[in-house]
Homo-oligomer: A and B are copies of this chain.
Amino acid sequence: MLHIGVVGEGVCSRATGRDAERVGAAIARAGAVLLCGGRAGVMQAASRGAARAGGTVVGVLPGFSRHDANRWVTIPVVTGMDQARNVVLVRSCDAVIAVGGRYGTLSEIALALKLGVPVVGLRTWRLAPPERRRVPLVRARTPDEAVRLALRAARRAAGAAHTWQS
């Protein structure tokens, strides 16, 4: 089963929340598991979208209590590691979708790029490395396109890992 992460800020505009909710719903409709940071803002909107569409929502929480999770999280994972939980979240995904986002989201995009997890961005950071290398951050224009691109990349990544394993 594919694991798609959604990362984004904990306080977001209405428009960004709507996008995140659509992203979550499309992930669930595709039969994939949604992973996120389990808190408010983009995380909550995506969780709601997925849960209402009947999907499973894993919330990888930074704090000490399961009660920090938003109400749409079905599997809370309590790390007690603050921002180090971003690594656990990203590593557990076949692909990650960044919706908007501030510094925490930027760290998750960077960690995904570092770990080789495909990233799709929807109105998110633009990044220019020091030596004009190409950054493999795919840009989508709509929530549906973001999920389509993420699923495609996830299937390719999961397939590659599998082949490499066997």
Residues of A within 8 A of B (CB): 1, 3, 33, 56, 58, 60, 64-67, 74-84, 87-88, 91-92, 100-104, 106-107, 109-111, 113-115, 123-131, 133, 161-162, 165
Contacts and interface: CB of A to CB of B under 8 A. Distances in A.
B102 A129 contact: yes
A95 B28 CA distance: 30
A41 to B, nearest CB: 13
A87 B80 contact: yes
Contacts of A101: 129-130
29 contacts: A1-B74, A3-B76, A33-B75, A56-B75, A78-B91, A80-B82, A80-B87, A81-B81, A81-B84, A81-B88, A84-B84, A100-B130, A102-B114, A102-B129, A103-B113, A106-B110, A106-B113, A106-B114, A106-B127, A106-B129, A107-B114, A109-B110, A123-B130, A125-B127, A125-B128, A125-B129, A125-B130, A126-B128, A127-B127
